[in-house]
Structure 1
């Protein structure tokens, strides 16, 4: 057992504060990682506040982790001490179901084990995440950070990056396709970058005129103000794909009307009921599809990191002193970050 410093929430809605706990003993397939950087995800806030009703306290959030290997178990073959590695949203799965065998561990039939607030499959303990000094993770759920990536900006790729890359790849976005990206936050700005790198013509949908110049800076070819009826009318039946990163309930119907025949509207940000109801005629009349996608499996998580290194893609970040984490949460709730906070874990000292 190793004494570990961290920041944790003790109750629902409580501020994060310094906390110490014992990391478990290493297992033969474990990689021991000293954490250098950890991204801050909206899911962290939802879990701290128990918005989904499943939080176990004390809670140490953090699932966008980059650090250096300090030790490896006897069964580990892919990593050595000193390697720069990453850990994303999950640290285990059943490893035996059809999804796991296909490298889609996020869809494990028994449910994946989250990097934090998950239940360890061996000892039943609750997993504690990356707002901490160190972590132990099975080799299967560790990825290599390519040398060409800056470790700090690579951290959010392990959630925001894979969440937007995976559906674009799965649904076959290719050069010449017309892709609309809904929302311009941590997920949306990565979606724009990936769609452009895949050769698509990219349009950002936003409610804010203030984001037009920023969207073009990120690589969007066009920007549509979604509250402007004339602009929405002008793009009817234009798109092959919509990547919807909006994290709150919103009306899908105006967006569905912008899809071509056989167009696909992909939800990656919404984890609650769709309101208002979708008009089925929007789907039936044009054979449109509403789909969803959850992060990505381990092979694809390594793939997105390699893709980012090859194409010079990184997440736009603001470095954060962990002592300011509660202020950062408040700023995130206001949408006041471009586009991801990343904690410099050296500030934990």
Structure 2
């Protein structure tokens, strides 16, 4: 450390495709006037971390790569222009670390900064992520963790929580709406909690009947076993919103349309391989909308954290020491995580 600034960051990097990272160090970029440096306490593992190190997302993974975009730690240094954060603050960083935030930017001016043409993801580009002892990022994408949230539970809220809450805010989910959630996993178990806290009636869909009790405890009013035709028939035409949080087969979307009330919204958060297939007449007759949702912008991240603090929304996590990151990645890759993994320094 030189003049309070870390001269070298030690982390775990993927150097080639595969579920394996190895110790790796790098020199961070110079601390800019709008930057902060964070000593990392916790880093969540997201499914997109696994897909990225496997080079499965777009075939353009840039190695060596330090993954991790669910970061929580304490500010240890800040640039001269940073006025909203102080050394010692407990903060989080999510999937995005930069956007231009200009008033004349079509995306940023509408609160769509994840779509800014200058947007930078937390890793696989101009920066490295949270499987490390520290990170240096633009202060605009560093968020104070509310005191009501135990820090170990905060990392998944930075990405998974924001991902599911963003479309609910944008589409205006409210009390009395009926919200379906497909998949009771890393995203779905948080989606149930956020929708329930908004006052919606939540319908949880899963092919695993064993998840019924947990889905109910999280806030679902109705549980639908997707292998049970009678249960599926009972919810036909009843949903105002449907969040798809797990990979779906291309031919399932017509079924989803039939679950919707008129003018309902199907929102896909998962990114399965292949193409979606639809029968146009189903859309014409139902007037159902289908859309996707990227991560939430910085205003939504703030609301996600504040709402979680107020309504006691917490992820269900498994904890691993950072030194066992490869064991944790394999656990995630095998689909055994229940439901988010948090690495601890």
TM range (shorter): over 0.9
Paired residues, what number?
336
Alpha-carbon shift at residue 94 of structure 1 (Å) = 3.0
Moved more, 89-98 or 162-171: 89-98
**Could you say which residue in structure 1 is the equivalent of 2:227?**
227
Change (3 A) 1:155 1:14: closer
Please say which of residues 221-230 and 201-210 is displaced more in the overlay. Answer: 221-230
- Separation (CA, whole Å) in 2 of partners of 1:280 and 1:177: 26
1:281-292 aligned at under 5 Å gives the runs: 281-292=281-292
Mapping of residues 1-349 of structure 1, within 5 Å = 2-13=7-18, 15-52=20-57, 53-96=59-102, 97-108=105-116, 110-119=117-126, 127-250=127-250, 251-270=252-271, 272-275=273-276, 277-345=277-345
Q: Which moved more, 1:96-105 or 1:333-342?
A: 96-105
Taking structure 1 as reference, are residues 129 and 249 closer, same or farther at Cα in structure 2, changes over 3 Å only?
A: farther
Alpha-carbon distance in 1 for matches of 2:207, 2:275: 19
Distance in 1 (alpha carbons) for counterparts of 2:173 and 2:101: 29
Aligned equivalents of 1:236 and 1:295: distance in 2? Answer: 29
Counterparts of 1:141 and 1:249, CA distance in 2: 35
* TM-score for the superposition, normalised by structure 2: 0.94
Separation in 2 of the partners of 1:248 and 1:135? 35
Q: C-alpha separation between the residues in 2 aligned to 1:29 and 1:151?
A: 24
- SS of the residue 1:132 aligns to: coil
Structure 1's 194 and 323: CA in aligned 2 closer, same or farther, altered over 3 A? same
Alignment deviations for residues 1-33 of structure 1 (CA, whole Å, 9 cap, x no partner): 711110111111151111111112100000111
Q: Deviations over 1:229-259 (max 9, x none)?
A: 2221111101111011013544212121110
- Higher mean alpha-carbon deviation, 154-163 vs 217-226, is at 217-226
Superposed CA deviations along residues 28-62 of structure 1, whole A, max 9, x for unmatched, are 00011111101000000000000020101001000
Alpha-carbon contact 2:98-2:118 (below 8 Å) kept: no
- The separation in 1 between residues aligned to 2:43 and 2:140, in whole angstroms, is 20
Partner secondary structure for residue 10 of structure 2:
strand
Summarize the Cα distance change of 1:248–1:114 in structure 2 as closer, same or farther, 3 Å threshold: farther
Alpha-carbon distance in 1 for matches of 2:86, 2:290: 43
Q: Distance in 2 between matches of 1:247 and 1:38?
A: 24
The corresponding residue for 1:123 is none
Rounded Cα–Cα distance in structure 2 between residues aligned with 1:249 and 1:131: 32
Q: In structure 2, the residue corresponding to 1:11 is in which secondary structure?
A: coil
Normalising by structure 1, report the TM-score.
0.93
- For 2:3, the equivalent position in structure 1 comes to none
* In structure 2, C-alpha distance between the alignment counterparts of 1:68 and 1:260, rounded to whole Å: 46
Instruction: Say if 1:248 and 1:255 are closer, same or farther in 2 by CA, change over 3 A.
Output: closer
Moved more, 320-329 or 148-157: 320-329
Q: In structure 2, what is the Cα distance between the partners aligned to 1:41 and 1:129? A: 12
